[in-house]
Amino acid sequence: MWWYAQTPRHHWVAERIERCSDALWVVRDESGVRLTSNHCNNRQCPECANRRARQASKVVAARVARYKWPTFLTLTTTPRRDLPLREQIRTIVTAFNRLRRHAVWQQSVSGGIWVLEITRHPHRTHYHVHIHALMDSKFVDWEWLRERWTTINGQPSGVHIRRAQERDSKYLGKYMGKGFAGISLEPWEEWPFAEELISVRTRGTFGTEPGLCHGADPDEEQTEYMPPEVIAPLSEVIARARDGNVAATEILAQLIARYPWMFRPDPDPPPDPPPAKLIPPADLVV
């Protein structure tokens, strides 16, 4: 990825991703002294993508648990090879917005959460963009849905609908966290792809479902967030405390009180194994 960075911003992002989660830092906020990892929170970072996907899955699962009739919907269209990915995304999201404005939809579906899935043709010729939604709906007429979705798109378009299963929340969360999941990008393709997706909406909520608000939205967790006071890497605090630095010793004592399981002294070494029983060979003559 480094090799293909072209602009100062690319270099800055690559450097942050390289250093992502490589150290535990001691910080101080209103709750006192605590430990944190130096996440880079970049969309291209595999480490952060996994963490966001786990968080998003939990948020989705908690919300879907309140649905009366959890339903899983997948909407596809024929890929438009002539359109850049950004335009394809804009087209399908606009079509989905139009679908939801129809009276039949509004009578059948109370609300839900949607996310885009982007995949790539095995021959790398073009991208496929789908919409997955988990929604609360007792019944939607499949015939109507397919006919309506095809009309809006003006071309053959697919609709798949079924009762939601438990694993679907995880599936949705995965695509919420990992913008690039399922796309096999060559290292030199990553930057153009990331630029293509800058400021593109890839998920959302509709109907009665509240927005993926602050704290619940994995991508927005840092936007209105007051960063804590950074003290030093944990290794530094421990080293200083060993040297007898009073402030470092005090901070370390607070950390030990907060995370006792992290600072447990080494357990006693295991006892020596009992001596092996001597079994005399069968042909031993005494």
Token duo for residue 277: 């029983």
Residue 221 touches Zn ion, criterion: CB under 5 A:
no
Q: How many residues sit in the footprint of Zn ion (CB under 5 A)? A: 5
Closest approach, Cβ 178 to Zn ion, in A, equals: 12
Contacts with Zn ion in 254-283 (CB under 5 A)? none
Q: Determine the interface stretch with Zn ion among 43-51, 201-209, 213-221, 275-283 (rule: CB under 5 A).
A: 43-51
Residue 48 touches Zn ion, criterion: CB under 5 A:
yes
CA gap 13, 19 in Å, rounded: 10
Contact 85, 127 (CB under 8 A): yes
Contacts with Zn ion in 20-39 (CB under 5 A)? 20
DSSP string, 127-155: EEEEEEEEEEES---HHHHHHHHHHHHTS
Q: Which is nearer to Zn ion, 20 or 255 (CB)?
A: 20
Closest approach, Cβ 139 to Zn ion, in A, equals: 43
Q: Which residues of 65-90 are buried (b: 16+ CB within 10 A; e: fewer)?
A: eebeebbbbebbbebbeeeebeebbe
The candidate with the shortest Cα–Cα distance to 209, out of 82, 103, 80, 71, is 71
List 47, 196, 219, 221, residue binding Zn ion (CB under 5 A): 47
Q: Which helix (H) or strand (E) holds 9?
A: helix 8-19
Q: Which is nearer to Zn ion, 47 or 221 (CB)?
A: 47
Q: Which is nearer to Zn ion, 40 or 129 (CB)?
A: 40
Residue 40 touches Zn ion, criterion: CB under 5 A:
yes
Length of the chain: 286
Q: Which is nearer to Zn ion, 20 or 212 (CB)?
A: 20
Half-sphere exposure at residue 22, Cβ-oriented, CA atoms within 13 angstroms: 7
* Amino acid of residue 123: H
Q: Which is nearer to Zn ion, 57 or 169 (CB)?
A: 57
Angle at CA of residue 81, ends 79 and 82, nearest 5°: 130
Closest approach, Cβ 2 to Zn ion, in A, equals: 15
Contact 136, 109 (CB under 8 A): yes
Q: Which is nearer to Zn ion, 51 or 148 (CB)?
A: 51
Q: Determine the interface stretch with Zn ion among 19-27, 72-80, 193-201, 277-285 (rule: CB under 5 A).
A: 19-27
In which residue are the tokens 């929340």 written? 169
Closest approach, Cβ 233 to Zn ion, in A, equals: 17
* Amino acid of residue 133: A
Closest approach, Cβ 19 to Zn ion, in A, equals: 9
List 13, 14, 26, 45, residue binding Zn ion (CB under 5 A): 45
Contact 131, 116 (CB under 8 A): yes
Q: Determine the interface stretch with Zn ion among 45-53, 228-236, 244-252, 254-262 (rule: CB under 5 A).
A: 45-53
Contact 4, 191 (CB under 8 A): yes
Q: Which is nearer to Zn ion, 50 or 249 (CB)?
A: 50
Which residues of this chain interact with Zn ion, rule CB under 5 A?
A: 20, 40, 45, 47-48
